[in-house]
Every structure is written in C-alpha cells, then in structure tokens.
Structure 1
Amino acid sequence: MATENNRLGTANLERVQSIYAAFGSGDVEGVLAALAPDVVWSNAGPADLAYFGVRTGREQAAEVFAILGQEFDIAHFAPVEFFAAGERVAVLLEMRATIRSTGRSFTEDLVHVWTFGSDGLVTRLQDIQDSAGVAAALRP
C-alpha cells in the first residue's frame, strides 16, 4: 500500500507542477484541461466578493481566472514547497498583488490542496489563504 501511495503521490505531484507551469505561462486552458468536468473549486472568503466562493465544474472554475485577470495585478506568485500523499498534493505558495480597482496591494502566504481522481484529473481544489487581507484589498 505504501508503494502505491508513493507512486500516486509522485504522479500527482508532477501533475500539480505542470498546472503551476501552465498558469505561470498564461495557459489557463492548460490548467482547465487538468480539471475533472465536475471539479469543486473552493476559495473560502466573504460571500459578497466574487473572487471567493465554491464553484463546481470547469466553466465555473474558469471564473476564478477571469477575476484574477481583471482585478489582480500579480507581481509574484510562486510555489514554495510541495507535499504529496496518494491522491492529494498540498502546496505552500507566496503571492504579492495589487488590486486594480482599489490600488491596494497585499502579500500573503497561502496553501492549495489538490485532490485527484483515479483518472488523474483534479476533482477538488481548496484555496486556503488570508481571506480577510485579500478582501480588504478588494473592497472599495
């Protein structure tokens, strides 16, 4: 069982690294292609701000990237450390950005937890961050 868990963890780690490489090069379609059709994309935060919420399916997950492109001027977004075990990969990240509509900047550490199905597609992403700090930057 441990060997199978290690093999899955390694394969899923490589998949997550490919997802971040696609995002870093602006290939949103490449990111979306790695998602299961019924993916659950969760970004906890205030319900009155469009960036936050739970989205289901690739089309709704794509909304996150549309909001990022419209609202966020990302100066730095980088994975720092990866942890893989079986169907899950957790990633520690750093982000610095300015919100275009408010001119406010923020810096944060965040965690992404990716869960994969047996077909190798992402079934769930949990985006865990300082939602209060991001919300403060987003609010007029």
Structure 2
Amino acid sequence: MAAGILLVAGGVLLWRNTADAGRVALPQAPQAVAAPDAVEDVPPPPQASEKTREERRFSRYDRDKDGAVGRDEYLAQRRKNFAKLDVNGDGRLSFDEYAVSGIQRFARADADRSGSLAPAEFLSTRIARSTRASVRCPPPDREG
C-alpha cells in the first residue's frame, strides 16, 4: 500500500514538472522610450491644398495661358475624344463607331467564334480594376 502511495505521489510531481515546462513565459512589457528632441523639430510634410489642385487643373485647360478658359479650350479634350471615335470623319457617330471598343472586346472574348459568349468567355470581359496601393508609414524605430 505504501508503495502505491509513493508511486502516485511521484507521478503527480512528475506531471506537475512537465506541465510547468510546457508553459511559455510572457515577455516583459516594453518600456516607454522618450522620443529624441530632433523628431519634434521636424515640420510636417507639405500637403497639396484643394486650391492647388484646382489651379493645376485650370492651367491644363488654359492652353493659351491668357488666364481664362475659353469655350474651345474647355471642350478641346472632348473634341479630341470624339475625333478618335468618328472613324470615317463625317462628324457623326454611328452606333458601331460609338460602340467600337465593346465590339472589339466581344470579338476577342468569343474564342470559338459562335457569336455568343459561354461563361468562361464572358469571364474574360470583366474589367480588371486595380486598387490603389495604400501608403504605409514605416514603424517607429524601437531600441531596446
């Protein structure tokens, strides 16, 4: 009987030691590091104001740089885009001229030339949108 008690007590002690060995000690909390004075003296980076953006946009439209945007200057880009679509140059857009990019996209997607798009072919017509890369600031230097 005494041997049984000693065996059980030894098992409990052994089990307790292996349980303690499996625990991971938590690291100490980092101590606050005072920022050097030089960092406080750095001015914030310049930022473009809305006025600056509008001034740049105005400058792009004002082709003759006379300080005013005339009707022809305002519509110049639209005339250029229209001229690209007006393939035959008659000053009028037919539906085929207007829809030329859609017609070309359909033709490229219709791999089997059946005149209709199967689901796999239709998938190739999706617009690939790129997301703007988010700007991430580097983490502060921590010495320690």
* TM-score, normalized by the shorter chain, greater than 0.5: no
Please, what TM-score do these two structures have when normalized by structure 1? 0.17
Point out the structure with the larger helix share. Answer: 2
Higher strand content, 1 or 2: 1
| TM-score (norm: length of structure 2) | 0.17
> Larger Rg: 1 or 2?
2
